[in-house]
Structure 1
């Protein structure tokens, strides 16, 4: 449904996402990376909120700029964090924003679909818990019958129990999804394939289960190993976590514990063990 082809994005003429090609395919796609990696910027471009400096976003067989915008807004809906709700509006009004006057009777049904009592329609956001507000945001997105949800950290502000309920809900929906997250457990649950971004570049892409089980890029490995394990030893940082991305060569080389002379040349994405990896030493990462 949506595809980025050689997309470079920036603010004020400064690129922050570089030459990204990405298909949103069946089974869910994850965008993984730390804050500042370009995940949300890329999501904004997919929503038509940011125009590429170069490259194109394709919606079906048309570029997003030339596509039928009314149809696009129905097919593709964002799910932001719960704080996106207008504190002045009642819950029913927020859910009904995308409905015509004759369709507003569907609000109770939409609230039930996300596991909320219809009576909550009369409340305001501050009268609901964080998990309830996140469900309202999802109900609002589902109101127009989208084919694709673009989810930007939908569980980041929720406790573990509420996160599990939201993930169960998202997994049960009959819609495709693009998930922006730094939470590897969440992407493993909801996305068949994933792209790992560092400094605005895709450094590894492929089946999510394989990326998390046997990373081929040192950055993916560092992200995985930074996740605490119940009953296990504390996570150990790999490389210089404080170092800024390198301006030349491999952007990760100043942090990378495997950096070598070859890393002074920028690596291209290449096929390694069934996924795409931008690393001169991917085979060493897999072998380690």
Structure 2
């Protein structure tokens, strides 16, 4: 079942497009949006939340476009989970969690705090009196208050240490709620998402089952993201053009060819033409030379 769907969506700020012709389905099992900073992940999430209107294309909520949908039902079904810093520092935890609840349901605050593994007594505290992990759990409890069908999570563990990250991931994995996860952390995506989309310069360059996509990347950019993750006991990640951390860092406009070609180890004359997003081995990939990628 698809709850939210982007169909040929282009997004921008002012006259500058930053997400280009993206089509994406949020289906059961969790969906991950992977990419470095500036790839368009958060901009696309804003559109899914109805906070940004597409320049072209549509966001579908069930069988209706978001423009025509019942916004009360939409807000109940789709809730954002921001980072812990999003809590109002002046507001006590209980009041923050209760904001979305009707007055007759304020007693549920204790239940929600317990659901995310917190002592209900913390409702009397302010955010600065909690640890980072506790604050993130409060943000999740607040999102769960209206009983959503889908959580949109933007880097929910990025500011937490490894131990706390593991606990938050355990919590999210145990929730009976679908999720769209925006992150650059491949381990988090692998844990929580059945399907993933890789974005570069506002374009989907690869999509498919998360396990297959990370085990045998078809696009050079996906491979670079994977290879940039340090491995315990292994050599340090390459500091080369493959990871995009040296040399050219700007994307090439899509109208002049593959946007990744200045950073790509497989770049060839054919890359002067924009690559179509095509089927390859059970996934979709936007690369002329995906078949020539080295075997993982």
Q: TM-score range by the shorter chain?
A: over 0.9
C-alpha distance in structure 1 between counterparts of 2:83 and 2:235, whole Å: 32
Counterpart residue number, 1:279:
287
Map 1:2-13 → 2, pairs under 5 A: 2-13=4-15
Q: 1:13-62, CA deviations, whole angstroms, 9 ceiling, x for partnerless residues?
A: 11000000000010000000000000000000000000000000000000
How does the TM-score come out when normalised to structure 1? 0.99
What is the total number of aligned residue pairs between the two structures? 288
Q: CA deviation at 1:287?
A: 3.9
- Report the counterpart of residue 50 of structure 1 in structure 2: 52
| Cα offsets for 1:77-103 (capped at 9, x unmatched) | 000000000001000001001001100
State the match for 2:223 in structure 1: 221
2:252 maps to which of 246, 251, 254: 246
Residue 263 (structure 1) aligned with residue 233 (structure 2): no
Tell me what 2:140 maps to. 138
**Unaligned 5+ runs, structure 2:** none
Distance 1:238 1:281 in 2: 20
Alignment RMSD: 0.9
Return the alpha-carbon distance in structure 1 between the equivalents of residues 200 and 84 of structure 2.
Answer: 26
Please say if residues 31 and 181 of structure 2, whose CA atoms lie closer than 8 Å, have aligned partners that are also in contact.
yes
Task: Work out the CA distance in 2 between the residues paired with 1:271 and 1:286.
Answer: 18
Match of 2:122 in 1: 120
The separation in 1 between residues aligned to 2:239 and 2:276, in whole angstroms, is: 26
Q: Is the CA contact (8 Å cut-off) linking 1:216 and 1:286 kept in structure 2? A: no
Alignment partner, residue 29 of structure 2: 27
CA contact (8 A) 1:17 1:38 kept: yes
Structure 1 unpaired stretches of 5+: none
> Which residue of 1 is the match for residue 194 of structure 2?
192
Question: Contact conserved, 1:153 with 1:179, CA < 8 A, in 2?
Answer: yes
Q: Is 1:71 aligned with 2:79?
A: no
Residue 231 of structure 1: how far off its partner (Å): 1.1
SS in 1 for 2:230: coil
Contact in 2 for aligned 1:241/1:255 (Cα 8 Å): no
Greater mean alpha carbon deviation, residues 277-286 or residues 13-22: 277-286
User: What is the alpha-carbon distance in structure 2 between the residues aligned to residue 52 and residue 173 of structure 1?
Assistant: 31
CA distance in structure 1 between the aligned counterparts of 2:240 and 2:195, rounded to whole angstroms: 25
Alpha-carbon offset, residue 285 of structure 1:
1.3
SS of the counterpart of 2:181?
Answer: strand
Contact 2:261 2:271 in 1 (8 A): yes
Secondary structure class of the residue paired with 2:263: coil
Q: Distance in 2 between matches of 1:130 and 1:170?
A: 16
Residues 216 and 295, structure 2, Cα contact 8 Å, conserved in 1: no
1:237 Cα deviation (Å)? Answer: 3.5
Shift of 1:238: 4.5
Matched ranges for 1:176-215 at <5 A = 176-215=178-217
